[in-house]
A = this chain, B = another copy of it.
Amino acid sequence: MPTIDATTDATEAAHDARTEARRRQLLAAAARLMAEHGSPNVSMQAVADGAGVSVGLIYRYFGGKQDLLQAVIVSVLESFATRVAEAIGDEPDPVRRIAAAFAGYCDVIHDEREAALLAYRETKSLDPEGRRVLMDLEVQTAQPLVAAVTDAVDAGLIRPVNVPVFAYQLLMTAHSWALKHWYFGTRIAHADFVAEHTALALSAVLRPETRNHYTDLLGTLA
């Protein structure tokens, strides 16, 4: 039995776990502060204080402020992608899968409104390489929706549309809950917002002969 290897493995695992925890702790503090005040208005000292740690330590985990900001945004987008994937589940009907994916996006945005805005506000100040990563991630996140729309078109359930454009329209609608919360927030409840936009989007593309299968999704537009 390789006792030595086992010990080193165990300690290494413990080490990695602690490192990961620290990293997450720093990211969480940075995300909270940057979402609230904007990255340029948050000093490294403030992040350190927020995490209950000294400034110097941040530099053991991140290359610098730029790197920290990028890591914050990446972690936000990754959590979005994960949650959206979960939300869709295994709905077989492509049209209902569109609705489920859209609702998933909307709910994630609703829960992480400030974080979503952070990504919009601060992306510009990243280096080109960092921006590319974020764009890739976002396109990834949109993939389930694109797939569902493609399936619906292929199955003849909806009229032919420009798939990437239609799918991104839905994505942007979800984002708009965060971007224009000051407007929508006082005019409509989130659940109604989701229902209304689901109905609008589907009403635009459903074929007349398939509309009556989805009256539950069309609401007053049925």
Residues on A lying within 8 angstroms of B by beta carbon are 38, 40-41, 117, 120-121, 124-125, 135, 139, 159-162, 164-166, 168-169, 172-173, 175-176, 179-180, 182-184, 187-188, 192-193, 196-197, 200-201, 203-205, 208, 220-221
| Cα–Cα distance between A41 and B125 once the two chains are bound (Å) | 9
Please determine whether A168 and B180 come into contact, CB atoms closer than 8 angstroms: yes
Smallest CB–CB gap between A219 and chain B, Å? 10
Please determine whether B205 and A221 come into contact, CB atoms closer than 8 angstroms: yes
Q: Indicate which residue in B166, B173, B179 contacts A169 across the interface (CB closer than 8 Å).
A: B173
Copies in the complex: 2
Secondary structure call for the A interface? helix
Q: Indicate which residue in B38, B139, B168, B201 contacts A204 across the interface (CB closer than 8 Å).
A: B201
Identify 11 new A-B residue pairs, CB closer than 8 A, beyond the known A121-B121, A139-B183, A205-B221: A38-B125, A40-B40, A159-B221, A162-B192, A165-B193, A165-B197, A168-B176, A168-B184, A172-B172, A172-B179, A200-B201
Please determine whether B182 and A169 come into contact, CB atoms closer than 8 angstroms: no
Among the interface residues A117, A168, A200, which one has the most CB atoms of the partner chain B within 10 A? A200
Residue of B nearest to A138 (CB): B183
| Cα–Cα distance between A201 and B161 once the two chains are bound (Å) | 13
Residue of B nearest to A186 (CB): B164
Residue of B nearest to A160 (CB): B220
> Hey, which chain B residues are within 8 Å of A38, CB to CB?
124-125
> Hey, which chain B residues are within 8 Å of A125, CB to CB?
38, 40-41
Smallest CB–CB gap between A205 and chain B, Å? 7
> Hey, which chain B residues are within 8 Å of A208, CB to CB?
208
> Hey, which chain B residues are within 8 Å of A164, CB to CB?
183, 187
> Hey, which chain B residues are within 8 Å of A196, CB to CB?
161-162, 165
- 24 A-B pairs within 8 Å (CB atoms) are namely A38-B124, A38-B125, A41-B125, A117-B124, A120-B121, A121-B121, A135-B182, A159-B220, A160-B220, A161-B200, A162-B188, A164-B187, A165-B196, A165-B197, A168-B183, A169-B173, A172-B172, A172-B173, A172-B179, A172-B180, A200-B204, A203-B205, A204-B221, A208-B208
